[in-house]
Structure 1
Amino acid sequence: MLFLVAALLLLGIVVGTAAHLPVPVTIIAAVAIGCWLLVFTIRERRHHTTHTEGASR
């Protein structure tokens, strides 16, 4: 429950901040975060694939 409250508080802060930024800055920040998440997803998939192959031997 505490995690949910903290997540909603953080979301409110981020959305509130984005509302006060110019649109181009918000779009650039969103693209940067999206790229970071894409890189993180690719690295995690490679990491789990490598460990899965090694465990089956």
Structure 2
Amino acid sequence: MEIISRKEAASKGLSKFFTGKKCKNGHLAARYVCNGVCVTCNFENSTVYRSVLKQLINSAK
């Protein structure tokens, strides 16, 4: 993957950038320009959130 800064990616209209450095959780992945979050961390957090939300909805039925 090509190393590109957040500022550079934003000016080119890209949605993601890659620094070549690991995130705080140790993932070596692209990050989102809008918030700087690692794509892998975002996927993991979304999966957990959807699981919890599904349980809440099912318990309310």
TM-score of the pair, normalised by structure 1: 0.49
* Higher helix proportion: 1
* Higher strand proportion: 2
Q: Which structure exhibits the higher relative contact order, with contacts defined as CA atoms closer than 8 Å and separated by 6 or more residues?
A: 2
Q: Which has the larger radius of gyration?
A: 1
